[in-house]
Chains A and B, each alone.
Chain A
Amino acid sequence: MVHPRSTVTIEQTQVGNKVVLRVAGRMDAENAAQFERQCESCIARGFTSLVIDLNDLTYVSSMGLRSFVAAAKKLRDKGGDLRICRLTGLVRQVFEITRLNQVFPPHDSVESALLEG
């Protein structure tokens, strides 16, 4: 049974040769793999540059963080990258504590994440 506490929705938009994934809700042990699968599906379709909009993500645990790192490593192996933007609240705090904000320097907007590189 999937418990009601645990929901994440991932909305996908293609912008040129990049894909923006808008992740909303909660990323925890029960659903973090969903994000990783979505990234893998993008890679399988030839997209290796992903922008992850976390403005509406309210919660992320270490299992969620694992999926960011795992997906970013896969993208890097393909010569691509993963960019994070619009961190807020607890999610921003968690990225700062774990210093993943240095691995993924956060962008303030989707537009600036798309423009870089």
Chain B
Amino acid sequence: MTLVAKAESLGPATEFVRKGAREANLPESRIGELDLLIEEILMNIARYAYPEDAPGIVTVSYSIPLPGELALEVGDQGVEFDPLTASPPDLTLDLAQRPIGGLGILLLQTFAKSLTYRREQGWNRLRFGIVANP
């Protein structure tokens, strides 16, 4: 599916990947993680990929390589960004020093199985999986 890269697209994108989760027979316990992954990726694109006054598009697709396994791809045409090479946040800081944000990429790197990134003809393409029994 193709959506505008805005926070308002989070609902439809979530419903779409949940449909994939049902088709792949993923257990309910994996749905929260799937929701989290799609939110972190989509919100990152919505906030940083495109100029604020000119939001672009985001594509979300899925396939089921094996029963109990959901493979997802999210694409955007914004600035090049590879979340696999993003600097990790400093988790040792106390409240006074902690920045307010910056934890989304860590959650993505933690929960996504087989996370890969490629830049292809102006597109960022992020692939990852969710499996029934990790």
Residues of A within 8 A of B (CB): 1, 3-6, 28-30, 58-59, 61-63, 65-66, 69-70, 72-73, 76, 89-90, 94, 97-99, 102-103
B82 contacts partner chain A, Cβ-Cβ < 8 Å: no
Query: For chains A and B in complex, what number of residue pairs have CB atoms within 8 angstroms?
Result: 80
| Chain A residues with CB under 8 A of B4 | none
**Among residues 46 to 98 in chain B, which have CB atoms less than 8 Å away from a CB atom of chain A?**
89, 91-92, 94-96, 98
Identify the 10 closest CB pairs spanning chains A and B, nearest first. A3-B11, A62-B104, A99-B91, A90-B32, A62-B103, A98-B103, A61-B39, A66-B101, A70-B100, A29-B43
- Interface size class for chain B? 20 to 34
**Interface contact B10-A103, CB-CB below 8 Å:** no
The minimal Cβ–Cβ distance linking B27 to chain A, given in whole angstroms, is 13
Distance in Å from the Cβ of B102 to the closest Cβ of chain A? 8
Q: Is the CB of B7 within 8 A of A72?
A: no
Q: A33 CA to B7 CA in the complex, in Å?
A: 13
Given contacts A58-B32, A103-B95, contact A6 B11 (CB under 8 A): yes
**A3-B110 Cα distance, complex, nearest whole Å:** 27
Chain B residues, Cβ within 8 Å of A72: 95
Q: Once the chains bind, are B11 and A5 in contact (CB under 8 Å)?
A: yes
**Max count, chain B CB within 10 A of own CB: residue among A5, A30, A62:** A62
Q: B1 contacts the other chain (Cβ, under 8 Å)?
A: no
**What are 26 residue pairs bridging A and B, where the CB atoms are less than 8 Å apart in the complex?**
A1-B11, A3-B11, A28-B10, A30-B10, A61-B35, A61-B104, A61-B107, A62-B101, A62-B107, A63-B43, A65-B103, A69-B98, A69-B100, A69-B101, A72-B95, A73-B95, A73-B100, A76-B95, A76-B96, A94-B107, A97-B107, A98-B89, A98-B103, A102-B91, A103-B94, A103-B98
